[in-house]
């Protein structure tokens, strides 16, 4: 019988022999020892797997570093869209909190996040923000928007360095000074001269024929090309001369007006006439007003043949008096022309507030207005009123009937006491020319 020591020696020898056999034997994937200890090709099989695993780990680490750095470097106050230099009209109601202001700005697509604006405003002094109507741009950073709203609704747009702007109602001198302030190598007088340069006008007309349609017939005496500049911000950082500045203005304006050219051509409308409307009210309001014109124009032409009232006058008055079919009297009671009545029969009239001009000053009064079953009835009665006058003066509007063009007819409406607003004639003429309504008189 073997002693314990001898058995132990034999076990050691057997283990060494087995280990030697495993290392020298062919690789057998079914052998559990190959998986546990490896033999010959065992370690070679695990090597690529280890390398792949290591590479994956490194890749994940690198991705984490990249995304982490991106998160750290991203400016949460950056402009929503630095390339969109158009202005958006934003009305901030009285009593709005900083949070509500931020929500309004986000809804209007001026900033990326209303909550971020709120937090920024709280850190800078939210009490500085003022209610009112602002013209803001997606190209403005959140800080610039805050600064503008802190300065109040009458303040100038706060824009990035090197950006100039044109807003509705600015004079040529104001525009030139503002733009020259951004390009120090150019004077305001140089810019005004470039806006009138005939050679530059010809060059720009060839490049932007849709934008500048009608420019050669323009009667504007100062800064001719300014009429064709869309009210918005402009990136002037690469402009070094007055002519380069003007080209940036027109190139940017042409891009902004592209969605409207087809419609303008189809309706014979000049680009400058609709720019202010689009800039202040947007594309949807432009389309709504055009749809209103197209709806009532055929019937206005029918009435013109029957009663002799110029179609342009009927359309313009309907648009002006009804606020483009947006007044309560028009949209609910089909009264396009603000026609009053003494008829108290239920359903035939309604009492509403109205604005009347007394000695040239507006006053709010209550009056009884006619209710119509359809808008066509309203237009028909309007034509009959101009033809038949009223009970005390059947020929009151004879000058309107005798007018041969829309300008004379618009003047006659005021002279014959159809309206009390001293600006009534000018309003109608501007409306007719803006929408080219005179085409319906032909």
User: How many whole angstroms separate alpha carbon 165 and alpha carbon 150?
Assistant: 19
How many domains, in total, are found in the chain?
Answer: 4
Residues 135 and 156 in one domain: yes
Residues 316 and 434 in one domain: yes
Task: Give a yes or no: residue 80 inside a domain.
Answer: no
pLDDT in tens, 58-79: 666 565 544 444 433 458 999 9
Residue 144: alpha-carbon gap to chain centroid: 19
Among candidate residues 46, 73, 100, the one where a domain is terminated: 73
Task: Give a yes or no: residue 81 inside a domain.
Answer: no
Report yes or no: 399 and 415 within 8 Å, Cβ to Cβ.
Answer: yes
Residues 68 and 103 in one domain: no
CATH at residue 356: 1.10.530.10
Q: By CB neighbour count within 10 A (0-12 exposed, 13-18 middle, 19+ buried), where does 442 fall?
A: exposed
Residues 422 and 328 in one domain: yes
Per the prediction, the chain carries an average pLDDT of 86
- Matching residue, tokens 């007394």: 358
Question: Who contacts 391 (Cβ-Cβ below 8 Å, separation ≥6)?
Answer: none
Residues 174 and 266 in one domain: yes
Question: Which pLDDT value is given to residue 363?
Answer: 81
CATH at residue 106: 3.30.1490.480
Residues 287 and 375 in one domain: yes
Question: In 389-434, which residue ranges form alpha helices assigned H by DSSP?
Answer: 398-402, 406-415, 424-434
Task: Give a yes or no: residue 420 inside a domain.
Answer: yes
Angle between helices 198-207 and 242-257 (to 10 degrees): 30
Among candidate residues 25, 41, 73, the one where a domain is terminated: 73
Which residues of the chain fall below pLDDT 70? 1-50, 53-55, 57-74, 218-221
Residues 16 and 134 in one domain: no
Residues 29 and 102 in one domain: no
Question: Who contacts 166 (Cβ-Cβ below 8 Å, separation ≥6)?
Answer: 175, 178, 226, 229, 230, 231, 232, 234, 249
Question: Which pLDDT value is given to residue 354?
Answer: 79
User: How many whole angstroms separate alpha carbon 104 and alpha carbon 90?
Assistant: 8
Question: Which pLDDT value is given to residue 38?
Answer: 46
Residues 292 and 274 in one domain: no
Residues 250 and 311 in one domain: no
The DSSP call for residue 155 is: S
Report yes or no: 159 and 148 within 8 Å, Cβ to Cβ.
Answer: no
Among candidate residues 73, 98, 117, the one where a domain is terminated: 73
CA end-to-end span of the chain = 133
Residues 384 and 235 in one domain: no
> What's the domain range around 369?
282-441
Question: Which pLDDT value is given to residue 346?
Answer: 86
Q: Between vectors from CA 143 to CA 250 and to CA 140, what angle results, nearest 5°?
A: 15
CA dist 138 → 2, 90, 159, 360 (Å): 95, 12, 10, 41
pLDDT in tens, 187-196: 999 999 999 9
CA dist 159 → 112, 162, 238, 419 (Å): 17, 8, 16, 43
Report yes or no: 164 and 234 within 8 Å, Cβ to Cβ.
Answer: yes
User: How many whole angstroms separate alpha carbon 433 and alpha carbon 272?
Assistant: 11
User: How many whole angstroms separate alpha carbon 129 and alpha carbon 98?
Assistant: 8
- Matching residue, tokens 């609704």: 153
């Amino acid at each position: 019988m073997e002693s314990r020591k001898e058995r132990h020696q034999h076990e050691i020898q057997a283990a060494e022999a087995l280990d030697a056999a495993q290392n020298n034997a062919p690789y057998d994937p079914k052998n559990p020892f190959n998986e546990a200890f490896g033999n010959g090709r065992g370690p070679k099989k695990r090597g690529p797997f280890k390398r792949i695993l290591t590479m994956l780990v490194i890749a994940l680490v690198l991705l984490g570093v990249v995304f982490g750095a991106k998160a750290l470097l991203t400016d949460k106050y950056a402009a929503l869209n630095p390339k969109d230099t158009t202005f958006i009209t934003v009305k901030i109601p009285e009593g709005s909190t900083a949070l509500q202001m931020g929500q309004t700005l986000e809804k209007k697509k001026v900033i990326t996040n209303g909550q971020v604006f709120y937090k920024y405003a709280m850190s800078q002094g939210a009490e500085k923000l003022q209610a009112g109507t602002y013209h803001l741009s997606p190209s403005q950073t959140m800080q610039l928007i805050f600064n503008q709203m802190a300065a109040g609704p009458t303040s100038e747009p706060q824009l990035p360095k090197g950006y100039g702007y044109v807003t509705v109602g600015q004079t040529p001198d104001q525009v030139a000074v503002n733009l020259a302030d951004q390009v120090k190598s150019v004077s305001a007088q140089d810019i005004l001269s470039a806006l009138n340069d005939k050679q530059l006008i010809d060059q720009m007309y060839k490049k932007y024929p849709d934008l500048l349609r009608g420019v050669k017939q323009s009667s504007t005496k100062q800064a001719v090309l300014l009429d064709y500049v869309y009210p918005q911000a402009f990136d002037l950082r690469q402009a070094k001369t007055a002519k380069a500045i003007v080209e940036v203005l027109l190139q940017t304006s042409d891009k902004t007006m592209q969605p409207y050219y087809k419609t303008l051509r189809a309706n014979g409308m000049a680009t400058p006439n609709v720019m202010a409307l689009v800039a202040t009210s947007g594309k949807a309001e432009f389309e709504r007003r055009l749809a209103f014109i197209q709806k009532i124009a055929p019937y206005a032409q029918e009435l013109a043949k029957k009663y002799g009232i110029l179609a342009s006058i009927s359309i313009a008055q309907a648009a002006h008096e009804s606020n483009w079919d947006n007044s309560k009297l028009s949209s609910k009671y089909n009264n396009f022309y603000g026609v009053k009545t003494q008829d108290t029969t239920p359903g035939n009239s309604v009492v509403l507030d109205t604005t009347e001009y007394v000695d040239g000053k507006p006053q709010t009064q209550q009056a009884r207005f006619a209710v119509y079953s359809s808008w066509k009835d309203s237009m028909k009665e309007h034509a009959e009123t101009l033809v038949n006058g009223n009970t005390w003066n059947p020929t009151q509007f004879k000058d309107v009937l005798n007018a041969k063009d829309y300008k004379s007819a618009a003047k006659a409406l005021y002279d014959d006491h159809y309206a009390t607003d001293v600006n009534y004639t000018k309003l109608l003429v501007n409306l007719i020319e803006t929408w080219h309504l005179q085409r319906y008189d032909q």
